Structure 1
Amino acid sequence: MGSVARIVSAGKALAGVGLAVGAVGVWALAPRPEAARRLQGALGLPQACYAHRGLHDAGSGLEADPSKDDAGEREYVALARRIVGGDGARRVSGHKAVPRGLADRSPRGAGARRTSQSEAVTQELALVGLNPDAAHARSADGTAAGLGVDPEAGGGPAAQAPLAPENSLPAFAAACQAGYGIELDVRLTKDKQVVVVHDDDLRRVAGDQRKVADLTYAQLREVTLGPAPVASNASVGSSPMRATGHRYHARHAGRSEPIHVPLLSDVLALVDGRVPILVEYKMGSALDWELMERTDALLSAYPGPYLIESFNPLALAWYRRHRPTVCRGQLAVPYHGKVRSSADLARALAGNLLLDWLGRPDFAAYEWHGGAAPPLRLFRALGGESVAWTLRSAEAQSQSRANFDRFIFESYVPARPLPLAGPR
């Protein structure tokens, strides 16, 4: 065989290997087939913009330094406080603009609408045991009392404690009232209660160093969600809850009980099917069977729309086997580092959606900057849907629109919430 023939033969062999590798890659990252979804009766991805950890006024995505807040963030915080705290919260916030997409449907006018939303939130929180007072107290100047303002700090806007911290019942009530879907996180307590909290400890959300898994739910109820001391080098998205000090207690306007990490069961009772819920299972590299089973027991009894997601493909594999009717999503972030260990390899495979074969997700929840990445584009071409996380500006939403079907947002007000639900 001549040299030319050997080169041609080697080229064909390499091409064959390349095609085989490509075929394996396509198989590995493919979503659940549409035919399988129909056969299994799986629900689709609900039409919604999902409020990241609820519509919150403290926590994730909010600038640690109030002097650097932009207009979009101020509007977002004002919306959360206006819904949760009524007109008093609006006055204290100092932001009076009506948010985009929240058209007034009340014949009594915009002010009456905001008040009715706050009253509705009061009633909703009472149903899940947050013990509202009989009426909103009023101070001498007519503003609402109970807004969590530290009287020693002078009561100015910068001195406010949060009314709706991230992953709290007031934040979820505000999202429902605004017509947004909800994204939340679940973990287990020491006594195996399913609670809604993102981090594995309470340092960022309450200034408490203890781990969630080391506390019973009764102990967790004693920890008030609120501002922790702000580090000078705190960064957006990972900083302690914003405030000028850490002595405040997060309290809902006119409601006497401090806000604490909620049970998932209380969140489900509060939402009551009004908006879709996107539940993220928080766990390490090993599958947390008890978290899966206890959370599923609550969700299976819930009549409203929900879907699940996790960074761990084994969680999706669990749903693939045990709950095929539930819409499931693979959380991922592009991996750009070097592969120097088995952990790096696992992150690289997951970031390129090459572990999808384990759980066959219906959607990929992808960090939005990677929206144009080839793995996500191929996943969509094969019939999968995509969810962007976490958008923090209208500009980011505009840039992401071509690459994503749904959005998870915070710190700005999207232009298109869901239609508000009618009376239940």
Structure 2
Amino acid sequence: MGKHVGGKLVLAGAVAAGAAVWAIKPRSFSDKQRHFAPSVPDVWYAHRGLHDAGSGLTPEYAAHSGEYVALARRCALRAGYGTADFSGSIAPENSLAAFAAACEAGFGIELDVQLTKDGRVVVVHDDNLLRVAGDPRKIADLTYEELSRIPLFPAPAKPGDAEAAPVADPVAAAQFAPQGYYQHVPLFVDVLRVIAGRVPVIVEYKFTDNAAWGERADELMEKGDQLLQAYDGPYVIESFHPGAVNWYKEHRPEVCRGQLAEPASLTGTGVKEWLAGLLAFDWISRPDFVAFDWHGGPSPQLRAARWMGAIPVSWTVRSADELAECDQYFDRHIFESFVPDSK
């Protein structure tokens, strides 16, 4: 009886292990060959451009972020943005100036795309403008014309700031475009025009709910891809939403696609987030690469995906110490707030 039960347990374990491997299996090599799908270009990727204000420039990283901010400003100036005596932010995150600066420095770029109220594809990370402009309104509730009058990191923001100060009356402030130099949330088509194929780009399709899908999601995918099809330069796409990565699997299999994920606990985040962190939804997207929170480099699911052929890409490494801790687990890196040495 004991041997019989033991055999069943072994069989059940083997079946479970096989199902887990099937679930996280990336795109097959033969499928890549059939569709001539490229790999992720082997370069450093500047998170939201090479920026002098924005994410990652927190007190935690202040000791080494000065060199990074200075490089962003020098490169933005060299690209024709701002002036040397301008005391505010020249190249805030996800701005044309930040992307131009990354190109000048020779770094690849990672960026995020969303839809405005009037259906324009813009480059911005958060679903609102509070952190980057002191304006709590949502991207989906604003037209591009309105966004173009809202400066990113306006005064009193200064180079190296991670967050913008709240604006007292954002609606009134955005009635007219401010005087003088400023950067605003850009159109994706303008960003692609600035990059102009000079460096590779990782394009993240951004959604407020990675478990839902609707007309706006389809609209973002179709419009974003239309712009990329007209673009003459190297790019790959990624998303936390497996449906977005699956969209490329179904509609544009020749494009290199990546599944974004991060470690999650069953008790802390919920079942869906926990399963996503285990890469359990990769069967939907069959990605070419997995962009994973750098803290999760040693995780069994990432190691298994790498063993089966997925390229692991870290996000977001913010210091040389963090790089040293995770480098052995990843083949590509998305970085900010420090200047990496060339590999």
By the TM > 0.5 criterion, same fold? yes
Q: Which residue of 2 aligns with 1:321?
A: 250
CA contact (8 A) 1:273 1:304 kept: yes
Q: Which residue of 2 aligns with 1:294?
A: 223
Q: Provide the rounded CA distance (Å) in 1 between the counterparts of 2:89 and 2:323.
A: 26
Deviations along 1:393-423, whole A, 9 cap, x unmatched?
A: 0111122111000000000001118xxxxxx
Q: Which residue of 1 aligns with 2:72?
A: 80
Q: Which residue of 1 aligns with 2:333?
A: 407
Q: What SS is found at the alignment partner of 1:364? A: strand
- After TM superposition, give the deviation of residue 256 of structure 1 in Å: 4.5
Q: What SS is found at the alignment partner of 1:186? A: strand
Q: Provide the rounded CA distance (Å) in 1 between the counterparts of 2:154 and 2:314.
A: 28
Residue type at the aligned position of 2:95: S
Q: What SS is found at the alignment partner of 2:19? A: helix
Q: Which residue of 2 aligns with 1:374?
A: 300
Residue type at the aligned position of 1:78: A
Q: Provide the rounded CA distance (Å) in 2 between the counterparts of 1:81 and 1:293.
A: 35
Q: From the CA coordinates, give the structure whose radius of gyration is larger.
A: 1
Q: What SS is found at the alignment partner of 2:272? A: helix
Q: Provide the rounded CA distance (Å) in 2 between the counterparts of 1:242 and 1:390.
A: 24
Residue type at the aligned position of 2:189: S
| Amino-acid identity (%) | 50
Q: Provide the rounded CA distance (Å) in 1 between the counterparts of 2:182 and 2:66.
A: 24
Gap runs ≥5 in structure 1: 1-5, 86-117, 126-131, 137-143, 150-160, 231-235, 250-254, 418-424
Gap runs ≥5 in structure 2: 174-178
Q: Which residue of 2 aligns with 1:153?
A: none
Q: Provide the rounded CA distance (Å) in 2 between the counterparts of 1:82 and 1:242.
A: 25
Matches of residues 241-280 of structure 1 in structure 2 within 5 Å?
241=164, 256-280=180-204
Q: What SS is found at the alignment partner of 1:402? A: helix
CA contact (8 A) 1:183 1:280 kept: yes
Residue type at the aligned position of 2:204: E
Q: What SS is found at the alignment partner of 2:238? A: strand
Matches of residues 138-217 of structure 1 in structure 2 within 5 Å?
144-145=84-85, 147=86, 149=87, 161-217=88-144
Q: Which residue of 1 aligns with 2:279?
A: 353
Question: Which ranges of 4 or more aligned residues in structure 1 deviate by more than 6 Å?
Answer: none
Residue 226 (structure 1) aligned with residue 153 (structure 2): yes
Q: What SS is found at the alignment partner of 2:267? A: coil
TM-score (norm 1): 0.73
Residue type at the aligned position of 1:364: V
Residue type at the aligned position of 1:206: A
Residue type at the aligned position of 1:27: W
Residue 69 (structure 1) aligned with residue 39 (structure 2): no
Q: Which residue of 1 aligns with 2:16?
A: 21
CA distance 1:179–1:62, change in 2 (3 Å): same
Q: Provide the rounded CA distance (Å) in 1 between the counterparts of 2:276 and 2:155.
A: 33
Q: What SS is found at the alignment partner of 1:224? A: coil
Matches of residues 35-50 of structure 1 in structure 2 within 5 Å?
35-50=30-45
Question: How many matched pairs?
Answer: 327
Q: What SS is found at the alignment partner of 2:40? A: coil
CA contact (8 A) 1:46 1:276 kept: yes
- After TM superposition, give the deviation of residue 349 of structure 1 in Å: 1.1
